[in-house]
């Protein structure tokens, strides 16, 4: 299946329902390209529009599952699992930053009224991101469909460093945490694992 069509279907699975104008950013393509593919996928019966938002149809979910299974057959499973295991340390580092962003050392909520504190956490986020990029590059070499994730992560980080701190963990938007979570979901699937298994191992978040 054409990689951009698969990216759109996967984005809708991960996000549930989203406005059409959010598809380009979520799937890593131009507005015109996304619009054309959404139209094709809608005609094929894989996407439905409900109250102004796009979602996968039952047929679309089944089709996506089939395509993801076919994709996994083309991948080096052992390499993918190895990359996922490497990801765990980076994921732990990000989870630690998320905790610091929400809570201070004495477990009091971070009210974000201390710019020096927030800046230190943001600087550490930039360091975590820089440290992760080489691994992400190797992930993309193994699973090319992930090729839009560097731009999505950098886009969120740029907004944060420019002063819009809501893009650190803003829900229902392509915040750094949201994009990271979606990448994590992708890696679980590509490694042939399940969220239930990862939750039992303490690696699901």
For the segment 68-79, what is each residue's pLDDT rounded down to a tens digit?
A: 999 999 999 999
Name residues of the chain where pLDDT drops below 50.
none
Q: Are residues 54 and 130 in the same domain?
A: no
Q: Which of 70, 88, 115 is the last residue of a domain?
A: 70
Q: Are residues 134 and 37 in the same domain?
A: no
The predicted structure's pLDDT at residue 205: 65
Q: Are residues 42 and 90 in the same domain?
A: no
Cα–Cα–Cα angle for 96, 111, 185, nearest 5°?
35
Specify the pTM. 0.94
Q: Are residues 137 and 189 in the same domain?
A: yes
The predicted structure's pLDDT at residue 151: 98
Q: Are residues 45 and 99 in the same domain?
A: no
Instruction: Identify the domain containing residue 156 by its residue range.
Output: 76-200
Q: Are residues 98 and 159 in the same domain?
A: yes
The predicted structure's pLDDT at residue 195: 79
């Amino acid at each position: 299946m054409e990689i951009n069509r698969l990216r759109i279907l996967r984005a809708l699975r991960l996000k549930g329902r989203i406005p059409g104008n959010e598809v380009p950013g979520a799937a890593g393509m131009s507005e015109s390209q996304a619009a054309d593919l959404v139209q094709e996928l809608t005609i094929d019966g894989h996407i439905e529009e409900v109250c102004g938002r796009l979602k996968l149809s039952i047929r679309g979910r089944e089709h996506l599952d089939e395509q993801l299974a076919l994709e996994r057959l083309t991948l080096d499973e052992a390499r993918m699992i190895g990359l996922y295991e490497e990801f765990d340390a980076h994921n732990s580092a990000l989870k630690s930053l998320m905790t610091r962003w929400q809570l201070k050392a004495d477990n009091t909520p971070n009210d974000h009224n201390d710019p020096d504190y927030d800046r230190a956490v943001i600087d550490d986020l930039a360091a975590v991101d820089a440290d992760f990029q080489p691994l992400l590059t190797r992930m993309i070499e193994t699973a090319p469909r992930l090729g839009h994730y560097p731009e999505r992560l950098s886009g969120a980080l740029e907004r944060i460093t420019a002063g819009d701190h809501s893009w650190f963990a803003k829900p229902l938007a392509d915040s750094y945490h949201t994009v990271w979570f979606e990448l994590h979901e992708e890696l679980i699937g590509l490694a042939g694992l399940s969220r239930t298994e990862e939750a039992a191992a303490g690696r699901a978040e």
